[in-house]
Structures are given as structure tokens and as C-alpha cells.
């Protein structure tokens, strides 16, 4: 049976890469009320969140064998 953490982790990692790329290559597209590059920081957080899910799924699969 497929662990649900795998697709969740891959989804957040992929979307995080896209958002981080937008933050790096299009920094002028930021939130209107702040000068902070929100895309960059949210993208990095999403990559870390997805990596945590993938790590947990990998550890769970490894402990079952």
C-alpha cells in the first residue's frame, strides 16, 4: 500500500521549487504591502516541509522491511 506521505512530500517539494524559482528569477513579483521576497522564503519552507514528509515516508518504509 502506498504511503500518503510520498505524494504529499513530492507535491510540496515540486511546488516549493517552482515558488523558489519565481522568488529568485522574478524578485520584482513580490507582495504589494512588503518589500520582502515572500516567494523565496515560502518556497524554501515548502521544500523543507516536503523533504520532511519524504524523510518520514522513507524511514517508515525502511522500518517495515
- The H-assigned helical ranges of 1-37 are 5-25
Is-contact 20 40, C-beta < 8 A?
Answer: yes
C-alpha cell at 6: 510520498
Which of 2, 10, 9, 14 is CA-nearest to residue 43?
Answer: 14
Which of 2, 6, 1 is CA-nearest to residue 56?
Answer: 6
In the chain, what are the domain boundaries?
5-64
> What 3-state class would DSSP assign to 13?
helix
Q: What is the pLDDT of residues 3-53, one digit of tens each?
A: 899 999 999 999 999 999 999 998 887 777 878 889 999 999 999 999 999
Q: What is the pLDDT of residues 39-58, one digit of tens each?
A: 999 999 999 999 999 999 99
Amino acid at each position: 500500500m502506498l504511503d500518503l506521505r510520498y505524494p504529499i512530500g513530492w507535491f510540496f517539494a515540486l511546488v516549493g521549487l517552482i515558488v523558489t524559482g519565481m522568488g529568485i528569477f522574478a524578485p520584482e513579483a513580490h507582495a504589494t504591502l512588503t518589500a520582502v521576497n515572500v516567494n523565496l522564503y515560502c518556497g524554501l519552507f515548502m521544500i523543507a516541509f516536503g523533504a520532511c514528509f519524504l524523510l518520514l515516508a522513507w524511514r517508515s518504509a525502511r522500518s517495515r522491511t
